[in-house]
Structure 1
């Protein structure tokens, strides 16, 4: 099957604004208590910031009149209270915003992961894991950053700016009018930057995904990389990806920082004009007292930082919205495999499995199974043999309901499996594949995933049946031994026996085996074959095998080719037919 990466679209303004409102609607109400308290703290920060500019005028005027000690003490007390209140409010704002933001990140990442788990196998086969990692980690964090920018910008920075401008107009109304030339000019400059920010940020996210992909492939394919001396190739790939991200990151920094020289230049021009004008009379009026002038200049200088943050706010939001779009693309992506709204619990009787006129393909152009009708008898072992690509593994995938057929029905006893819950279906089926997956955890925890409520003794007994108990006990910490990523500290035979132990512990009435011994040496294969023989008695067993020696005791054998049952019967019956199965048998036992 082909693999594709979900494309990262460039945000248009309408779509970006729509997603922004959606993000705010979904996130703010649930955390309204923390955000309300944070907003109160921000109002206090804005108010005390404006007061600190105003009190500078009082300080200057009080110092010019040292004989008035009462006024000096009053001003000193006011300064202390203003800055104390500002410090407490700033602390409260930071903590409350951080707690709400961290909770939003956790919730979004949980929702994204839950959405991932809701998708069928087809989704994971057509989406690169590096892309999913990027969306689950980076996009949730960027969503939090966007909310922080919006809340702090529209509350703290805007109110602070309003308060400081009010002080400016109160102290020096005419000089304040001169300073207003900064605002419109800054807005025009910022608008020129936005379009470039969107495109560059999307490219940067794609570059980060490439870095994650290279690291993943290096970790999982280390043996192949070493065997073929691909270190230089992988290093070149990583360097190329890192350079691209570095280049785009630098460009992003330039764009985000472009507002600073713009604001600095405009502010410098305004201050220069104010200095000149403050020494002369304006409109026939004097420039005011030294305190008023000092208060005005202080307010003007303090207004610079919130004004700069506000001028950059749209740029920051546009950069973050790329991650928000990535997040909602994944959250809104419909699953191609859904549980029926009225799904019921699967009640298994004898355990008969039936494929009724089933057709299936992984894509519309290529059908793997065509109008297949076959019955797997309850309590019997049925083997599937035949050439690769004939549809054998697809049959097991349909029984597990990892995919749904395009036509036909899969039955377990009298239950259409498309109408039962996923959990109850998989609980009644044990699966052992050729590619054993183990979690980076202890042996015990890896075994208990088959049945979390199993006692230690039940786990030990399952391991004895699967010929795994002795080798587990020989490990450094026995059942509590950490086995590494995908059981990297164990041999192939040991990993497979742990997989069979899970199947034993599961105690399911239906057992599916997909080339469970194909990658094992002769001794390990003998252990595994004996273990499987011990657990499939009275269990509906469907086994795929290329080595015919592993299915000598099967009750029935189906030769599958091009999605059809070409031959079927017992070993003796098929050998007597002088057909495809006999040719396969002779190729293995007489020529090999």
Structure 2
């Protein structure tokens, strides 16, 4: 009757969302690792059994040695206690190691699954999510799944089995004394019920505060040049300090809420022990009961106190970990966006002609960027895109690599709609260099090698020579093994640019996209980069975005992009002769005025 009431109490305490999350964890990670959990359960059963055996043995020890004064029993009982203690120690070690190994495997598996799911998302997802939030889900989510399963398994195996075993000892020795002890558990479980909702709310706020601290700190560190240039240190310090203080207060509230179950269990445990001592003492003195029964029940009651306390606060401890598990499922449940249907063919490059046909696209609904854009980038030739900011030039580059999908119209390469070919084959056919070069925080060699993983050192150096980068690389103490720092912070802008070009040389893709690759460089660096780019453009279909018209005057075709459409196209001389939009840009630039033409 009591176990049934206890189970009902637990069911009433657990919300449907919690039950669904726990059920899903057991049906996924739990099912995959059931063998490991079964082994740990056996070890925990041995722990519970040996603990119960020690409690039961206390009655025999008291009666045989101290009451009957049986000297032979000393050796037998001592050996029995020693054996049970060794078994308990071995089982404790076994369950700890087994659970840890299973838990570490769950973390590793889930981090891999999350990484795969994140890689299957498009650029739009990452544009709308902060890096700090993604990283928290990547780490906290995987940890949460492990902690929930381990907590439940240890509660069911170690704690519940121990309580059942010790309760059995109390019942065998004296059923009435066992009843007194069993009264404590339902009251304790019911007593912490009101704390659960409080803990859930506090932890949600605490997680949100931690996310804000990480977000603002990452932005401050990554934008440290801007921070120092605009003397923002004091404002950011005040802002982040405020977040940290709020986090501290939330953490303190969490500790207070979680700790409230402790005094309740202490008080109820003391009441139970006091009643048992009173009843057992009266029984020994006036009812002819043996001291061994008294000590056995007291020992069992004292040993059951800690596991009973852990069971009583199980739902509170689960709350903090369940939020992490739900964060994991939020990512895993996102549909894969960049996924190829079975049988999707690879892109077949014959010439490399790129054709935009009546393409419409917008990043947000009712805010079009491209409005029926059409043009052809001829195979093996250079097509330059110029025009005012916001016209859609960089968007064109993103659409060619399918970072976004067009709303309507088609983009074809050699007559193949790029939506009908695999993502991998499309992107393998494209080399990309922009003004915002991204370098990984490794060595120069590793960064160039990203153009073609597995490339030989000779191929890497050949690509660097073609990009006019070999000489400055060899000027470093560690040469190609020199570390570039976070985002290439140890290199100058021109050096980063030439490493990016070397990467494109190594990739050797038939299509080349250059998004203002020299816009942020000084004249000397630009001259070096332009030499490398002219060599890189040879025999490739190249699309160039540039705001300095002198860098594209020799392009085979120049397209003027304005308000999402091609308003003019032709060679430099033809467009100047038309005296249209291109002529106006040309006059402004070469008359000493500036009009920013970046995308």
TM over 0.5: yes
1:90 aligned counterpart, secondary structure: helix
**Hey, what's the Cα distance between the residues in 1 that align with 2:283 and 2:69?**
30
- Corresponding position of 1:295: 296
Structure 1 residue 69 displacement after superposition: 2.5
2:383 aligned counterpart, secondary structure: strand
Calculate the TM-score normalised by the size of structure 1.
Answer: 0.96
2:22 aligned counterpart, secondary structure: helix
When structure 1 is superposed on structure 2, of 451-460 and 562-571 the one drifting more is 451-460
Tell me if structure 1 keeps the 8 A contact 2:65–2:71: no
Structure 1 residue runs of 4 or more that deviate by more than 6 Å after TM superposition: none
**Hey, what's the Cα distance between the residues in 2 that align with 1:187 and 1:461?**
71
- Corresponding position of 2:541: 540
- Corresponding position of 1:455: 456
- Corresponding position of 2:328: 327
- Corresponding position of 1:3: none
Calculate the TM-score normalised by the size of structure 2.
Answer: 0.95
- Corresponding position of 2:245: 243
- Corresponding position of 1:266: 268
Tell me if structure 2 keeps the 8 A contact 1:194–1:318: yes
- Corresponding position of 1:194: 196
Structure 1 residue 421 displacement after superposition: 1.4
- Corresponding position of 2:508: 507
- Corresponding position of 2:7: none
Question: Of 17, 20, 40, which residue of structure 1 is paired with 2:19?
Answer: 17
Structure 1 residue 335 displacement after superposition: 4.0
1:538 aligned counterpart, secondary structure: coil
- Corresponding position of 2:171: 169
- Corresponding position of 2:444: 443
Q: 1:488 to 1:525 in 2, by over 3 A?
A: same
**Hey, what's the Cα distance between the residues in 2 that align with 1:275 and 1:227?**
73
Tell me if structure 2 keeps the 8 A contact 1:172–1:287: no
- Corresponding position of 1:6: none
2:373 corresponds to 1:379: no
Tell me if structure 2 keeps the 8 A contact 1:351–1:509: yes
**Hey, what's the Cα distance between the residues in 2 that align with 1:229 and 1:423?**
44
- Corresponding position of 1:257: 259
RMSD: 1.6
Structure 1 residue 68 displacement after superposition: 2.3
Tell me if structure 2 keeps the 8 A contact 1:134–1:209: yes
1:565 aligned counterpart, secondary structure: strand
Structure 1 residue 66 displacement after superposition: 6.8
- Corresponding position of 2:398: 397
Tell me if structure 1 keeps the 8 A contact 2:360–2:372: yes
2:355 aligned counterpart, secondary structure: strand
2:144 corresponds to 1:142: yes
Tell me if structure 2 keeps the 8 A contact 1:172–1:288: no
Question: Of 40, 43, 49, which residue of structure 1 is paired with 2:42?
Answer: 40
- Corresponding position of 2:160: 158
Q: 1:171 to 1:275 in 2, by over 3 A?
A: same
- Corresponding position of 1:427: 428
When structure 1 is superposed on structure 2, of 458-467 and 392-401 the one drifting more is 458-467
- Corresponding position of 2:106: 104
Q: 1:560 to 1:12 in 2, by over 3 A?
A: farther
Structure 1 residue 538 displacement after superposition: 1.4
When structure 1 is superposed on structure 2, of 339-348 and 580-589 the one drifting more is 339-348
Structure 1 residue 281 displacement after superposition: 4.2
**Hey, what's the Cα distance between the residues in 1 that align with 2:342 and 2:205?**
40
Structure 1 residue 452 displacement after superposition: 1.4
**Hey, what's the Cα distance between the residues in 2 that align with 1:402 and 1:240?**
38
Tell me if structure 2 keeps the 8 A contact 1:146–1:317: yes
**Hey, what's the Cα distance between the residues in 1 that align with 2:341 and 2:176?**
71
Q: Deviations over 1:423-476 (max 9, x none)?
A: 111111000011000000010110011011322222111111111110011111
- Corresponding position of 2:359: 358
**Hey, what's the Cα distance between the residues in 1 that align with 2:288 and 2:24?**
50
Structure 1 residue 67 displacement after superposition: 4.9
Q: Deviations over 1:130-157 (max 9, x none)?
A: 1111101112112211111110111111
Structure 2: unaligned runs, 5 residues or longer: 1-12, 594-599
When structure 1 is superposed on structure 2, of 96-105 and 111-120 the one drifting more is 111-120
**Hey, what's the Cα distance between the residues in 2 that align with 1:37 and 1:146?**
18
2:488 corresponds to 1:487: yes
